[in-house]
């Protein structure tokens, strides 16, 4: 039975308590068996029954639950560095999109890429992501926008589940934007999503969640409702991109549909915050996307003060958030969204697990949960996200198996 000792501080990150209550244990030990946690507490209280030869040392590092990136667009073709420059020089994201750039340009590159090419690119990303202490990733389709190309992206995610150790949770985002070929007939595109894509995705069991981008230029609240009701009838749970560039009643929609999360939310209304509080939806903040689009960042305090859990995610995609560096994004959640380091840690662990409906399995270091954790070389959680180093993670463990170790 493996035991990890010599832990300077361990953050349990329980579901209970407020956003800042990460349950710190000084001088801790952690025991697991068959990939599950069987004991956690102060090392001096370790029961004698756990005497074992398999003792590992955390070398006075911090131990946190494996980080969970609960919002990414992992598989895509190409990049969009030229648009980055255009945005810096003052051209708004929506104007670039209207001129055929933005999501549409990634759709072109993604359609051109083979399933194998996309798979190999994702494998490389995941290897780098594991080095940061991340053990689970939510991955969206949404850059294919034909039946075949959406299935191609989701099949890449399915292959990744078996080809490497990170946990992969798939989301169908066929309603990301109306592709150019349906520009004058959005009704028909919606019909394609509802009548062909959703049934195919469901019958192959390719996605747990269905997401819709609710925005002017993407989909309306009513259109999103139609898609998500069809998805729900096919067994997929709802997630939503809402209130990112304008306030459109998206958070209210998420609450009324019982969505597990509403993401972005920079322009959320007070009613939207209240509705999410009532429904229990998680608010997912994506500070990198606000920064790269020169938007005002979300004020996370509005949610935290109202008692809505806030998860933190990268939104990794080639347009608005071209980095998969979750610890950096947690630092940005502190500096741009006004979350404390402890709040950001709960946001990228247990609340992120809640945002992908996996809080019973992962996201905290409690008995019965999967033994997913990261060892960080830092003096404290505050110091980790304050004095931001190139990579504080020295070891990443998934279900008791080492997936990365710094040598």
Comparing every residue's Cβ against ligand NIG, the nearest one is 319
Count of residues that bind ligand NIG according to CB under 6 A: 12
Continuous H helices in 194-292: 198-203, 221-233, 250-257, 270-279, 287-292
What, of ligand NIG, Fe ion, none, does residue 319 touch, CB below 5 to 8 Å by kind?
Answer: ligand NIG
CB 154 within 8 A of CB 194: no
3-state SS class at 123: helix
CB 52 within 8 A of CB 44: no
| Other CB atoms within 10 Å distance of the CB of residue 89 | 7
Q: Does 106 bind ligand NIG (CB under 6 A)?
A: yes
Supply the DSSP symbol for 236. Answer: P
Distance CA 246, CA 267 (A): 6
3-state SS class at 134: strand
Choose which of 28, 68, 103, 207 interacts with ligand NIG (CB under 6 A).
103
Q: Does 250 bind ligand NIG (CB under 6 A)?
A: no
What, of Fe ion, ligand NIG, none, does residue 103 touch, CB below 5 to 8 Å by kind?
Answer: ligand NIG
Q: Which of 304, 294, 374, 387 is closest to 20 using CA atoms?
A: 304
Distance CA 115, CA 184 (A): 29
What, of ligand NIG, Fe ion, none, does residue 190 touch, CB below 5 to 8 Å by kind?
Answer: none
Q: Does 211 bind Fe ion (CB under 5 A)?
A: no
CB 281 within 8 A of CB 262: yes
CB of 320 or CB of 364, closer to ligand NIG: 320
- Applying the rule CB under 6 A, the residues between 318 and 337 that interact with ligand NIG are 318-320
Six token digits for residue 293: 């689009």
CB of 106 or CB of 261, closer to ligand NIG: 106
Q: Does 372 bind Fe ion (CB under 5 A)?
A: no
Choose which of 315, 336, 355, 369 interacts with Fe ion (CB under 5 A).
315
Q: Does 289 bind ligand NIG (CB under 6 A)?
A: yes
CB of 12 or CB of 242, closer to ligand NIG: 242
User: Can you give the binding site for ligand NIG, defined by CB under 6 A?
Assistant: 102-103, 106, 213, 241, 244, 289, 315, 317-320
Site for Fe ion, rule CB under 5 A: 315
């Amino acid at each position: 039975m493996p035991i990890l000792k010599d832990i300077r501080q361990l953050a349990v990150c329980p579901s209970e308590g407020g956003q800042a209550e990460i349950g710190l244990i000084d001088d801790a030990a952690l025991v697991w068996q068959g990939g599950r946690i069987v004991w956690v507490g102060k090392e001096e209280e370790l029961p004698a029954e756990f005497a074992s030869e398999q003792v590992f040392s955390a070398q006075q590092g911090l131990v946190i639950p494996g980080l969970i990136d609960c919002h990414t667009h992992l598989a895509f073709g190409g990049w969009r560095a030229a648009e980055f420059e255009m945005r810096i020089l003052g051209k708004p994201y929506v104007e670039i999109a209207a001129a055929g750039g933005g999501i549409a340009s990634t759709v072109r590159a993604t359609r051109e890429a083979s399933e194998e090419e996309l798979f190999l690119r994702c494998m490389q990303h995941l290897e780098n992501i594991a080095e940061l202490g991340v053990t689970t990733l939510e991955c969206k389709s949404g850059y294919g926008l034909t039946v075949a190309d959406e299935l191609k992206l989701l099949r890449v995610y399915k292959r990744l589940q078996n080809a490497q150790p990170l946990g992969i949770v798939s989301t169908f985002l066929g309603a990301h934007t109306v592709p150019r070929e349906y520009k004058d007939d959005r009704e028909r595109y919606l019909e394609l999503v509802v009548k062909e894509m959703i049934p195919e995705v469901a019958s192959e069991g390719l996605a747990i969640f269905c997401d819709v981008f609710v925005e002017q230029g993407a989909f309306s609240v009513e259109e999103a409702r139609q898609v998500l009701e069809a998805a729900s009838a096919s067994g997929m749970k709802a997630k939503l991109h809402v209130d990112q560039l304008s306030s459109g009643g998206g958070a209210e929609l998420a609450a009324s549909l019982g969505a597990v999360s509403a993401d972005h939310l920079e322009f959320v209304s007070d009613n939207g915050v209240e509705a999410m509080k009532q429904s229990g939806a998680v608010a997912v903040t994506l500070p990198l996307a606000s920064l790269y689009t020169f938007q005002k960042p979300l004020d996370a305090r509005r949610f935290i003060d109202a008692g809505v859990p806030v998860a933190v995610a990268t939104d990794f995609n080639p347009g608005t958030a071209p980095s998969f560096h979750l610890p950096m994004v947690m630092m940005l959640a502190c500096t741009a969204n006004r979350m404390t380091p402890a709040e950001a840690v709960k946001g990228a662990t247990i609340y992120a697990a809640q945002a992908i409906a996996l809080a019973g399995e992962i996201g905290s270091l409690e008995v019965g949960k999967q033994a997913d954790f990261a060892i960080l070389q830092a003096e404290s959680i505050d110091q980790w996200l304050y004095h931001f180093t190139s990579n504080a993670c020295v070891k990443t463990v998934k279900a008791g198996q080492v997936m990365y170790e710094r040598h």
